[in-house]
């Protein structure tokens, strides 16, 4: 079955996509407080040198997120 969303892991470097939802409630509290909101444009700047984390940009704010943290941000196709 086709997924109706992507995550940051699916983005190419410097590609952006609109966030549609933040799932995991425990992480959502933290991420929304830091400005990762449904409706914001998220850019993958680059993956971490040793993997496992992403450097992203959200409305001019730069964030480092782990794979699990990034995985709960659902992005538009």
Residues that bind another protein (CB under 8 A): 22, 25-35, 37-38, 45-53, 55, 59-66, 69
Distance of closest approach, residue 74 Cβ to another protein, in angstroms:
14
Closer to another protein at the Cβ: 58 or 75? 58
Distance of closest approach, residue 1 Cβ to another protein, in angstroms:
27
Q: DSSP letter at 67?
A: H
Beta-carbon contacts of residue 61 (< 8 Å; ≥ 6 apart): 34, 35
Handedness of CA 16, 22, 28, 33 (dihedral sign): positive
Distance of closest approach, residue 19 Cβ to another protein, in angstroms:
12
Closer to another protein at the Cβ: 1 or 51? 51
Residue 4: phi and psi, rounded to 5, are: -95, 10
């Amino acid at each position: 079955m086709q997924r109706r969303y992507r995550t940051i892991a699916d983005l190419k470097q410097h590609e952006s996509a609109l966030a549609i939802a933040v799932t995991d409630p425990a992480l959502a509290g933290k991420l929304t407080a830091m400005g990762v909101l449904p409706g914001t444009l998220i850019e993958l700047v680059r993956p971490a040198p040793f993997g496992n984390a992403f450097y992203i940009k959200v409305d001019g704010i730069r964030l480092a997120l782990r794979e699990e943290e990034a995985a709960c941000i659902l992005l538009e196709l």
